[in-house]
């Protein structure tokens, strides 16, 4: 979750908060960060909140949880 910021002239305006959810992802360490890459599909959902602090302490964090072994084939 990150703040949606736009530059207007010399000003930076915070329009709200955007959350992104990868429906199927594999996490990889890249440089000093954690990157979510598509795994079983390339679907990404985004939601918008007009509240600039909607993310609270979760802003800029990558959240995830294992749902099954990555070696198990996806069910149709």
28: nearest Cα among 68, 62, 74, 60: 62
- The residues spanned by each domain of the chain are 2-52
pLDDT over threshold 70, residue 74: no
pLDDT in tens, 10-60: 999 989 988 887 778 888 888 888 777 888 887 778 889 888 888 777 776
The mean pLDDT value for 1-12 works out to 91
**Residue-level pLDDT at 32:** 82
**Residue-level pLDDT at 12:** 94
pLDDT over threshold 70, residue 65: no
Q: Which residues of 43-61 are buried (b: 16+ CB within 10 A; e: fewer)?
A: eeeeeeeeeeebbeeeeee
């Amino acid at each position: 979750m990150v703040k949606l910021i736009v530059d207007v002239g010399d000003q930076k305006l915070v329009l709200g908060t955007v959350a992104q959810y990868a429906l199927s992802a594999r996490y990889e360490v890249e440089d000093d960060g954690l990157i979510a890459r598509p795994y079983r599909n390339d679907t990404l959902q985004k939601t918008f909140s007009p509240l600039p602090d909607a993310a609270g302490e979760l802003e800029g964090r990558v959240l995830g949880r294992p749902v099954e072994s990555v070696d198990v084939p996806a069910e149709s």
